[in-house]
Structure 1
């Protein structure tokens, strides 16, 4: 009985009819002939209610529902969730679905409304957009069924409590994995860079064929064989590419609900995959007060899974990042010259100057690329017209901060340090372009 009472919900239509009858009862005080009619209508109302309840509960199965979740969610992307419904009633049924979404989304107004014919099956897909890595716990699936009378509704609660992890953006990984090796690069902002010259990694001596570069003729081998022989070279491969992620407080700034740290994590996953496909070694580590989450640069089948799990488990803090500790660890652990993609953020020139000696020291032995972010909200504010003195003052301050970012780029160039100043949403594309440029120019 308790279960029945908990599952029964009186609908708005029933209370509307009841309120109307109450008004008629008030008028019957003045018109006695209405009183008998009011009693009859009231009895008829409750008779309809009982009949409606009988329609909803005579079938024990009612509605069958299930939720289908992906194995994992992709952070910062649209993910599809599917709900399947089967109507086991013998009548046409109105259905309202309320899914208990994870607390991270703070949504309490989610519902899906539909009408099902007898024995009809329907599938519904809705989209979620997670912005925090971690575990997402879905609650029960609540289905409210009502007949054509609409006086009552029967709630069926399906135990669909599920946990799905939210990983760094593997959907971006798949997208850029495809386009980076096709001819559709320009459509996504990627630049196809022509490689100038060749590297000096010797492969073999072979017979000359028309079209070979005459500058590569090996005259000693030609004299011995009495025919033209040329040196054949191959591209340098298996070069270490490290993504270095600053997880201090400067990376906690959110843009479009996604923190700079998560933008860097998503870009790290993509660039590591492309580096492996380009036959380089991919690795990573994070730093704040100390260097953590270290993955040694290697080229093996399990490397991407190791990187994905490491990026998923990165824990953030709000401390000031220690660049001196970063320099010590890089010098101690990375012996081979490597490409270091440093994801951090500098808001002022003074902030850069405090860390510049350590960046210069790292750049002496490695190819360092400092990647930091534009404040897109400030740039959007600058596009608005100023109408008051206060707004003019604010725009002047905003222009100063935007200009200071450009000064940081010039300061890094002055000391021979590569840099990328990018909007957060363009981070992945700009990082790939810089990597392809470095490979094409043979800088590493």
Structure 2
């Protein structure tokens, strides 16, 4: 497609008043108008012929972008001109709205006959997207004619969990000193699992002395312990309506999945076993606990199957079903958000039954939007009403959290962006206190 630029239209329009004046002043001046338009049209045609050829423009095979929720990635394209090439070119991209295309337009300088365009993508939800078409246009030397070519892409672009963010947090975690059980050697002298008998040395706990064996061997012997391994950790994901609302640019469930994968990585590194359980109005996914070298890959694929839901969460059915599936004492990490007092009451009742046998850890993301409403200085009556409602919701949440703590549940409450490290710290603390 070839069409005039703004410069060509302005040039044609600028000559018309002059041609009109000449036509009024002289009998043959009426020919000035058509002559000016013909001159502009001729210049436009010459400009179009002297620019890069549309037929010789090609597009390199585009690479499929790796997209993750709330993480910006770039979709790059390279167009190549054969023969004469313009100095610069522009491009426009058609993409699925799910991919979060910040700007559909891009400009690029042409170097050695190639123009590179980058389009930043920041998806807000997981799922399948598509890059449909790419338009490339450029002008001739005079800037009077646009030449445009359309490329059909039909490129699939799936949006998955932020595994890269999990890996980055895992590297930071391993760079710090000593998670419990994260080292390959046996951690003797701590934990509750019996390792062996050894000679009592100054500084050891006197309660570890085995008096019967000491009397038999005629010198003090003490029991040595090691950190217990092979614990079962179940990551229970609430994927109901409330957890699909965005917080910090990503749905809560995606934040929970990232934190759950990070905890699963820490569990597998420390010798424990981990598994996923997802639920909304009914149980949706139960992987069972897994361990070993390929376990994290299995959990990663399982987390990708956790879908968004518009259903209300049924805590009674979900937690009761989970309790019947667990064959031994486990750490149950519940990722949820509660705004409905009735649903919160049912959750407390179901949690109380689960806590009779298992250790339960609730992970709650701070609602920074509500906190900002409460802290904002009111400038209108609507701001006061908004702050009162937000403060009431925060009080209800604090009440539920206090009741859960009284029942014996452990709580992790942190901003959405820092929920992963806070969860790891809570897991390490539970292991150090030998509560698992």
Query: What TM-score do the two structures reach when normalised by structure 1?
Result: 0.86
Q: Distance in 2 between matches of 1:327 and 1:401?
A: 24
Q: 1:196 to 1:252 in 2, by over 3 A?
A: farther
| Pair 1:332–1:162, CA change in 2 (3 A) | same
* 1:169 corresponds to 2:162: yes
Extract unaligned runs of 5+ from structure 2.
179-186
Residue 321 (structure 2) aligned to one of 319, 329, 338: 329
Alpha-carbon contact 2:100-2:123 (below 8 Å) kept? no
Q: What is the CA-CA distance between 1:137 and the residue it aligns to?
A: 0.5
Q: Following the alignment from structure 2 to structure 1, what is the Cα–Cα distance between the partners of residues 238 and 85?
A: 60
CA contact (8 A) 1:62 1:89 kept: no
Alignment match, 2:190: 198
User: Counterpart of 2:373 in 1: which secondary structure?
Assistant: helix
Partners of 2:177 and 2:205 lie apart in 1 by: 30
Select 1:151's aligned residue among 140, 144, 164.
144
Q: Do residues 51 (structure 1) and 60 (structure 2) align?
A: no
What pairs with 1:208-357 in structure 2 (closer than 5 Å)?
Answer: 216=208, 218=210, 230-347=222-339, 349-357=341-349
Question: Are positions 1:73 and 2:29 aligned together?
Answer: no
Superposed CA deviations along residues 397-444 of structure 1, whole A, max 9, x for unmatched, are: 322222222222211111111122333333223222221221222111
Separation in structure 2 between the aligned mates of residue 207 and residue 196 of structure 1, nearest angstrom = 13
Contact 2:48 2:139 in 1 (8 A): no
**1:75/1:166 contact within 8 Å kept:** yes
| Contact kept? 1:91, 1:147, Cα under 8 Å | no
| Offset, 1:122 | 4.9
Q: Secondary structure at the match of 2:364?
A: strand
The offset of 1:115, in angstroms, is: 3.1
CA spacing shift, 1:367–1:24, aligned 2, 3 Å:
same
Label 1:108 to 1:45 Cα distance change in 2 as closer, same or farther (>3 A): farther
Q: CA deviation at 1:149?
A: 1.2
Deviation per residue, 1:125-184 (Å, 9 max, x gap): 442111111111111222112222122222222332211221111122111110111139
Shift of 1:324: 2.2
SS at structure 1 position matched to 2:254: helix
Q: In the alignment, is the contact (CA less than 8 A) between 2:366 and 2:414 conserved in 1?
A: yes
Structure 1 gaps of 5+ residues are: 1-6, 186-194
- Distance in 2, Cα, partners of 1:184 & 1:217: 30
CA gap of 1:171–1:315, structure 2 versus 1, over 3 A, is same
Is 1:160 aligned to residue 170 of structure 2? Answer: no
Cα distance, 1:384–1:221 mapped onto 2, change above 3 Å: same
2:184 maps to: none
User: TM-score, with normalisation over the residues of structure 2?
Assistant: 0.87
| Alignment RMSD | 3.0
1:200 is paired with a residue of what secondary structure?
strand
Which 10-residue stretch deviates more, 427-436 or 195-204? 195-204
